[in-house]
Structure 1
Amino acid sequence: MSTDQTAPTAAGRKHTIDETALHVTSIFTKKGEHAVLDHTADADEEVLVALGYKQEFKRDFTWIESFSVSFSVLGLLPSVASTLTYNLGYSGQAGSIWGWIVAGILIQSVVFGMAELCSSMPTAGGLYYASAVLAPEGWGPFASWCVGWSNFLGFATGPCSVNYAMAAMILAAAEISYPDYVPQTWHLYLTFLLLLIIQGCLAMNSTKFLGYVNIVGTIANVIVLVIFVIWLPAGAINKPRFNDNHTVWVDVQNGTEWPTGWAFIMGFLSVIWTMSGYDTPFHLSEECSNANIAGPRAIVLTGQLGLYLGFAIILVIAYTVKDVNDVVAGAYGQPMASLCVQVLGKNPGLAMFALNIIAQFFVGQGCTIASSRVVFAYSRDGAIPGSRWWSQVNSRTHTPVNSTWFVLLIAALLGLLMFASPVAIGAVFSIGAIAQYIAFVTPLGLKLFFAGDRFKPGPWNLGRWSNPVGAVAVAWLLLIVPALCFPAVKGKDLNDLTMNYTCLIYGGAMTFALAYYAIDARKWFKGPRVNVEHLIYGQNAENTGSGSDNIEPMAEKS
């Protein structure tokens, strides 16, 4: 209910909700229905009910705490550290610099477009819900199914990729400290499992506790980033200390067997994977107060800080790295470890690398929280096998504990790919990137080409810039999808260890999802599943259609 409407009726008097007055784009509007409330509710609950969902979480997140979770997921320095092989290895220092500028700016179109969607549809389902509402008539369930599964795959691989990278960092630090130590794959996997268990034990707690943890994580990430940006150039031991401007800004080095221009685009993977946590406030909107304003603000702030602070990191790396090959294919198996040791020396480099590991832990923690909310939202609508388990909210913590452990189980199983080959487990990074951006941009494309006046802008919106921003986001997706699927080599150099498995793993998972839909799910899956009392063609219904009397309209039906 908007603030300019008449005061709510007394508890027990039922009244319909006017979605237009609340500035939301609801599944009810598409069906010609309205939600019904039988009690006095605050603005956040009324918006959520207008979207078709009961208030099940405590709204203990402020916009700062919502931002802190997304910034933790973003994890700029650890994320850049995890993917240096791609931007630095594919196109050198100059390619890294210009790659971050080009890709980072284009990604802002997705950031701002998503913020606008969040303001209009602040629900944990996020992109999946938006796709159902904005798709052409009759295509809503299929669109939401595809986007939901793609977003699910992106988030399900997140805890795996982040914690695999962290486990590898821990063993690399041990190798630097003890040169005689030789890491084994099973060492890596057990470390990886331990990290998953620790993060699960933290992520299963209350929203208020998680807010505090992620504020600490955000502060830690910012402090480590500032230390890195200052310490690397100030403590560099090489002579000359910095690379010349031509090397940093002009000389694009092609580290692939493809044309230089395409190698430059392939290097976008580092930026894409790093800049993929800003949708988290969307999924946390049911736990955030003033969600249709706070969520978009948190999304935009995350995207903007990611662009500028990430560029500072890349700039420092480009000016201080001396031997790119040693960093990309160094003895420790971790580019950031090799970089820190190369630039700062063994002991200072190890100290800087250790700080990076601490920051990486909070990235994994934020990723686990966000992933569990995505699984909960899709399970609430029956879109994932075992939904009745994953959609349960713990009565003590008021958080989706079951879905938290479910995403960590998926991560543990995906982690077994490390026993196949480094390339196989490395494909998880590409899958996360391609799955997330397909999910990010698809609802923007649906809004641009099909929604028309069915999209109702929320209180935070782009105005006349909405369609141009959406068009840039769609063009960006069409550019990066093929680039994310290319291997670095071709011809006789292409084998089972150098192949890019993104197409196989992501394509296989989505093929399963589409087959599941075609064979069975299309018969029962109808998109977001309304769980609040609502009017159906003038008749009152509760969930499946039970009627009741004594309804007091709060607004005229549209």
Structure 2
Amino acid sequence: MSLSEGIKSTQSVVSVDEVPVKSIISGSNCKILVDHLVDKDETVVLALGYKQEFKRDFSLWTTFGVAFSVLGLLPSIASTLFYSLAVAGNAGITWGFLLGVIGIVPVALNLAEIASAYPVAGGIYYATAMLSPPKYKAILSWIAGWSNYFYQVTGAPSVGYGCASMILALAAVANPHYQYQTWHCYLLTVAITFVCSIIASLPTKWIAYINMGSSILNIGFLFISWIFMLCGNNREDNLTDWPDGMAVLLSFMAVLWTLCGFDSPFHIAEECSNAQVATPRAVVMTATIGGGLGFVFQLAIAYTIVDIDNAVNDELGQPYIAYLNQIMSKPRVLAIGSFAAILAFSMTFSCMIAASRVLFSYSRDNCFPLSRYWCKVNKYTKTPVNAVWANWVIGVLLLLLMFGGVAIDAIFSVGSIAPFISFCIPILLRITYARHTFKPGPWNLGRWTYLSGYIGCLFVLLMIPISVFPDYKGADNTMDMMNWTCVVYYGSMLLAIAWYYAYAHKTYKGPKSNITGDIIIGNDVDEIVEKVSMNKDFEAEKKIK
């Protein structure tokens, strides 16, 4: 029997074991009858155990558009300039950035291979369960899923915070009498994320067009800003009391945060046509193009900056705007700085789109409290609107950290290390335990899988302890200079694991199929065709009565 055999003009059968994927329902000689003709993408997602609930309005380029918007090179660099420039000076934003890219690209390549094999919204979490030893698939997928979700749920509020900070810094440039207040930044960030939540709740086709437009703006504004910046001066290096080598390693946190969005195509795979090929291509394009353009852009900053110390410690409180203020007239600062703020806004709603798909997909398998609400797809927009607004509420609460001063920096650090830990788990399983059982998709690395995988995993292993190091050590490290990542991320992960062993292990067993109701699963095609016919006759009889 073929992969999807027509029964009637409006019916199809998918023979799961004939689809070249390993899934939660494969290996049981299972056949699925649906009441319409299915294409290749729907055949694959059905074989992976899920109903086709989204419209596939994303192409390779619109998927790349979402990912590139999540990457948001200009606003990402502008928001994290403190974390690279302050700890390692020009070395941090140039060679430190380039070394970070070299470590990240292998991670992206292996993740792309996995995305081709498992093109579902669950992404990292689903792949981890499929690649794990059966005994440990629940706990390993739980850890990978929660780590990825912590990164997703902190993404939009951290970018929104960066956007608000830039707007208020520009306000201070335009009006020297303006006095910054923390509550100004909080309310502005809440307003930005609220509007972005509305955009993220729109139908998929609208979102695709909006993100494609924002990607064009990303490249255009990046190029214009780069041209205007090439007119600068001197430099100064390591501003911490760590050795130079350690300072460069600390600067990697900025490139990790800047480039972590390359996994976004994975989470919208169920909305993408030709997903097994377009999704991995979009992952690789995002990491490589983003890394290359980011390096060239930061070279321009390194070449033109006049005074690193003043940029980092300027009363404006935003190093990128302070840097622009060193090399440009006020009108140009307002114009070029506005580019970064506009792109930070578009990056915020792109992050919300990705985060909502993660919450939706994990909730299908009862990973979260009140999962039945977050796994619903709105019948009008065909998008997970409930998940969008649940993430917004959590983000508003997280933003209260800004009243704790330096503690707000932890949401940036979570966005640096949490995704790479979640990426590394399925990659490590792929090149070790599952090396002989993994079924590669049409896009794969072939014999280069293992070399790339080990390089990527070793890089992440190096960065895990680096993520908790503060900028200053010993007596120089005070409470207001503490790196709170160990509390915000590692503390949260500890609670998630404790919850699993205390209660969740009783109900959570890993990904589960949601193919129920109108879609019937069985082994005997004739039997399930008969059941469908009987159901249709019964429904018709009820309508007549």
TM-score computed with the length of structure 2 as normaliser = 0.93
1:435 to partner: Cα distance = 0.9
Shift of 1:448: 1.1
**CA shift for structure 1 position 529:** 1.4
1:361 aligns with one of 333, 341, 345? 345
1:193 aligns to 2:190 (yes or no): yes
Cα drift, residue 439 of structure 1: 0.7
> Which deviations, in whole Å up to 9, do the C-alpha atoms of 1:117-171 show, x marking residues without a partner?
1110000000000000001121111111000000010000001100011111111
The residue aligned with 1:66 is 63
1:51 corresponds to 2:51: no
Give the deviation of 1:33 after TM superposition: 5.7
Could you tell me how far apart the structure 2 residues matched to 1:428 and 1:35 are? 45
Alignment partners' CA distance in 2, 1:508 and 1:547: 50
CA contact (8 A) 1:23 1:459 kept: no
**Alignment check: 8 A CA contact 2:69 2:218 kept:** yes
Residue equivalent to 2:33: 37
- Which of residues 263, 270, 293 in structure 1 aligns to 2:247? 263
Structure 2: distance between partners of 1:6 and 1:432? 41
> Take 1:529 and 1:25, find their aligned partners in 2: how far apart are those partners?
14
Cα distance in 1 for partners of 2:525, 2:502 equals 37
| Distance (Å, rounded) in 1 between the aligned partners of 2:173 and 2:12 | 67
Match of 1:376 in 2: 360
Q: Give the equivalent residue in structure 1 for 2:462.
A: 479
Residue among 187, 194, 211 paired with 2:208? 211
Q: Distance in 2 between matches of 1:224 and 1:374?
A: 29
| Amino acid aligned to 2:48 | L
Q: Tell me what 1:550 maps to.
A: 527
1:505 equivalent in alignment to 2:488: yes
In the alignment, structure 1 residue 470 sits paired with structure 2 residue 470 = no
Q: What CA RMSD, in Å, does the superposition of the two structures yield over aligned residues?
A: 2.0
Q: 2:306 aligns with which of 289, 307, 322?
A: 322
Name structure 2 gaps, 5 residues minimum: 530-545
Cross-structure match for 1:86: 83
From the superposition, tell whether residues 227 and 65 of structure 1 become closer, same or farther in structure 2 (CA, over 3 Å): same
The more displaced of 33-42 and 171-180 is 33-42
Q: 1:22 to 1:209 in 2, by over 3 A?
A: same
Q: Is residue 12–residue 38 contact of structure 2 (8 Å, CA) maintained in 1? A: no
| C-alpha contact (below 8 Å) 1:25/1:457 kept by paired residues | no
Cα distance in structure 1, aligned partners of 2:28 and 2:57: 33
Q: Which residue of 2 aligns with 1:17?
A: 15
Q: Where does residue 166 of structure 1 map in the other structure?
A: 163
Counting matched residue pairs gives 527
**Quick check: 1:57–1:398 contact (8 Å CA) kept in 2?**
yes
Output the CA distance in 1 between the equivalents of 2:486 and 2:309.
27
Alpha carbons 1:34, 1:50 under 8 Å: kept:
no
CA contact (8 A) 1:28 1:35 kept: no
Q: What is the alpha-carbon distance in structure 2 between the residues aligned to residue 6 and residue 483 of structure 1?
A: 50
Aligned-pair identity in percent equals: 43
* Secondary structure in structure 1 of the residue aligned to 2:19: coil
- Within the alignment, does 1:336 sit opposite 2:335 as a pair? no
Shift of 1:13: 6.6
Distance of 1:23 and 1:175 partners within structure 2 = 58
What's 2:376 paired with? 392
SS at match of 1:420: helix
Q: Any residues of structure 2 matched to 1:88-487 within 5 Å, and which?
A: 88-233=85-230, 236=231, 241-243=232-234, 253-421=237-405, 423-487=406-470
Alpha-carbon distance in structure 2 between the residues aligned to 1:110 and 1:495:
35
Amino acid at match of 2:30: H
8 Å CA contact retained: 2:115, 2:276: yes
1:161/1:181 Cα in 2 relative to 1: closer, same or farther (>3 Å)? same
- Write out per-residue CA displacement over residues 357-379 of structure 1, whole angstroms, 9 at most, x where no aligned residue: 11111111110111100010001
Residue identity opposite 2:328 in structure 1:
L
Give the equivalent residue in structure 1 for 2:540. none
Q: CA deviation at 1:24?
A: 2.1
Q: Please give the per-residue CA displacement for 1:471-493, whole angstroms capped at 9, x wherever unaligned.
A: 11110111111111100111122
Question: After TM superposition, where is structure 1 displaced by more than 4 Å over at least 4 residues in a row?
Answer: 11-14, 545-549
Match of 1:555 in 2: none
In structure 2, C-alpha distance between the alignment counterparts of 1:404 and 1:391, rounded to whole Å: 11
